[in-house]
Amino acid sequence: MLSKAKVKYLSSLKSKKFRQKYNNFVAEGDKIAIEILKNAQNSTAVFTTEIEAIYGLSEWIENNTSLLQPFQAITTEVDKVTLQKISSLQTPNQALIVLKTFDYSPDKAVIQSDFTLLLDEIQDPGNLGTILRIADWFGIKNIICSKDCADLYNPKTIQATMGAFLRVKTFRVDLTEFCATFKELPVYGAVLGGSNLFQTQLEKKALIVIGNEGKGISESMLQLLTHRIEIPANGQAESLNAAIATGIICAAFRNL
């Protein structure tokens, strides 16, 4: 049994205020938990995770004994009722891990050698997480978020990444200042009336702006676009989900 104070602390991490206060966040589920444990022991990982605590059902702990061996001191067995109390999921999985938030810097050389996603006011945590997963699929190393994007450490974001947050570095910055640092790179953005994505000569080294789900790209970022592109429509849908549009654009750029 966990103490009431511990349950209260773990439950508080569902809130951004307390994630920032403690510099901790939660990742849940068997698949993500196993990826985290492997990452923590992988010397060649993009960046290693600092694990504060591990909570799991007895069966899960037993099935992952070898992976958990280095973390025995911070592993706690819990029952389903307790896991329900500390979980942010409607149907809790088998494990929950508390991690330290990440501290790293953008790799300028990587940004200058490939294309990088700039997320302009993406509000939905699920969309943000899915975009990280898309970036991971296409081998994109960095995602640059505007300061008013959804929180990377939101449980819904982490869940939607399916472990991609371990391999894709995500930064929160002023996008206009960021673009000013990389003036030599073209800046692409998907807007209505732009050039057909599939008929445009794309440059592999570039910054790609993904706009807000409802408003699109902000006025300040529109002014910085050097190339306006559009995903051509053949049907009657009014718009594309931001994450789906990101996947299509990434596929086009990665196939150069």
pLDDT tens digits, one per residue of 87-126: 998 888 899 999 999 888 888 999 999 999 999 999 999 9
Give the global pTM: 0.93
| Rounded Cα–Cα distance for residues 225 and 220 (Å) | 10
β-pair type (227-230, 142-146): unpaired
Query: Across the chain, what does the average pLDDT equal?
Result: 94
Q: Which residue has the tokens 């899960």?
A: 60
Question: 145: which strand partners?
Answer: 119, 172
- What per-residue confidence (pLDDT) applies to 224? 97
Domains and CATH numbers, the chain: 4-100 (3.30.1330.30), 108-254 (3.40.1280.10)
pLDDT tens digits, one per residue of 58-97: 999 999 999 999 999 999 999 999 999 999 988 888 999 9
- What per-residue confidence (pLDDT) applies to 256? 62
- pLDDT confidence band for 54 (50 / 70 / 90): very high
Nearest to 130 by CA among 36, 245, 30: 245
- What per-residue confidence (pLDDT) applies to 238? 79
CA 150-181-223 angle, to 5 degrees, is: 70
Q: Record the tokens describing residue 4, joined without a space.
A: 């009431």
pLDDT tens digits, one per residue of 131-159: 999 999 999 999 999 999 999 999 999 99
Nearest to 246 by CA among 91, 122, 86: 122
- pLDDT confidence band for 45 (50 / 70 / 90): confident
Instruction: Compute the residue count for the chain.
Output: 256
98-124 in b/e burial notation, b at 16+ Cβ within 10 A?
bbeebeeebeeeebeebbbbbbbbbeb
Instruction: Work out the end-to-end distance of the chain between its first and last CA atoms, rounded to an integer number of angstroms.
Output: 55
Q: Record the tokens describing residue 27, joined without a space.
A: 């990742």
pLDDT tens digits, one per residue of 184-215: 999 999 998 999 999 999 999 999 999 999 99
pLDDT tens digits, one per residue of 160-192: 999 999 999 999 999 999 999 999 999 999 998
